[in-house]
Amino acid sequence: MNKLWHAENRMPAKATLEQRIQWHKEHQEHCACREVPKSLLAYIKIKKLK
């Protein structure tokens, strides 16, 4: 787990969907200690198709 990245990239308490997607995208690149929730994955795929 990339503790430094997590310390510098806290998920906001009231993160919007866009913020959550962005956070998980960067998280996958820098750490990926946990998977992107399926509910968010669906949104990411939709965005890529557009």
Residue closer to Zn ion, measured from CB, 31 or 44 = 31
Are 24 and 36 within 8 A, CB to CB?
yes
Q: Which is nearer to Zn ion, 3 or 50 (CB)?
A: 3
Q: Which pair of tokens denotes residue 34?
A: 């946990």
Distance CA 38, CA 24 (A): 12
Footprint (CB under 5 A) of Zn ion, residues 11-50 = 31, 33
Q: Give the residue with the Cβ less far from Zn ion, 4 or 50.
A: 4
- Please give the residue ranges that form the binding site for Zn ion (CB under 5 A): 31, 33
